[in-house]
Amino acid sequence: MIRFIVRRLLQLIPTLFGLSILLFIWLRRLPGGPETAILGERGTAEMRAQIRANLGLDEPILVQYGRFMQRMLKLDLGTSISTKREVTTEFLERFPGTVELTVTAMIIAIGVGIPLGYLAARKRGSLLDSLSVGGSLIGICVPVFFLAYVLKAVFSENLHLFPSSGRQDPTIGATRITNFFVLDGLMTREWDAALDALWHLILPGIALASIPLAIIVRITRASVLEVLSEDYVRTAQSKGLTERTIRSRHILRNAMLPIVTVIGLLTGGLLSGAVLTETVFAFSGIGAFLYEAISNRDYPVLMGFIMIIAIFYVLVNLLVDFSYSLIDPRVRVR
């Protein structure tokens, strides 16, 4: 197990190195530049040249990349061109919101998707099966921003059941420790703050969970149907084992491997930021901030945020690999 962890962590080095090169080239190929975002279209050539010199963008591309890598190795992500604040500070303020939103969406998707997919497979051809398949198709086809606007209009603006924007009511005056608002409320025993933060997560969490939920339902159904046709399941039934034993030991354990893989990929993707959901609900996360950084050609923010997100993405999938040996003892991590 230790050798496996070390090997996967060492594989992270060339992955991030290659990603840094691709990102650096891609950002430099974007039309315009930070000087255009700062000055607009009315800036003179002298003003643009001065800004590029101040930012070090007039130096050779290899020199720029070398300085960027030196800062990354020192954990210095630089300063945002737009906000004039440290990129690390911006990330630590916004990433907790994205993590809370991602966790909420995945809890909804997993908590509903796996049981629904399992029941649809066990009752193949029934009304429940037809509704689950049809509902999953709708969940994949409906745009997230459209569902977000519908949820906001119905449950926030008309029924007034949920808040329409933000991560927490600013009038509460909650204590900040980790910037995870729900966790901070629990740690400080400010139950009203924790409940309010959780209440703000419901609608954006449901909107963000729509596509992962649909995918998990379909993957679970297909995986369970495949396992149900295996000989060892029929053997277990012929031996007179209870339905609970067959379900837990023979069906779900063997069907969970592809499901866990998909969950890891979906979680890693959501951690990169939900631009549309965060924009609709004015949710302070990294998705909307990355969109602004792309518009402003904010190179330090783009490079720093994407590199850190890539690290988290790899770590999430590393946890997926570990979970294989826990779910199915036949799969051993070596």
Does 107 map to a domain? yes
Does 40 map to a domain? no
Per residue in 177-232, pLDDT (tens digit) is 888 999 999 999 889 999 999 999 999 999 999 999 999 999 999 998 888 877 77
Neighbours of 294 (CB within 10 A): 14
233: tokens are 């399941």
What is the domain-level CATH number for residue 161? 1.10.3720.10
Does 283 map to a domain? yes
Does 89 map to a domain? no
Per residue in 209-220, pLDDT (tens digit) is 999 999 999 999
Residue among 209, 179, 208 nearest 90 (CA): 179
Per residue in 102-150, pLDDT (tens digit) is 999 999 999 999 999 989 988 888 898 899 989 888 888 888 889 999 9
Does 280 map to a domain? yes
Does 295 map to a domain? no
* pTM for this entry: 0.81
| Structural domain that includes position 174 | 98-287
The answer to whether 303 and 295 have CB atoms below 8 angstroms apart is: no
Does 266 map to a domain? yes
Does 278 map to a domain? yes
Whether the predicted pLDDT of 331 surpasses 70: no
Residue 87 — very low, low, confident or very high, per pLDDT cuts 50/70/90? confident
Number of domains in the chain: 1
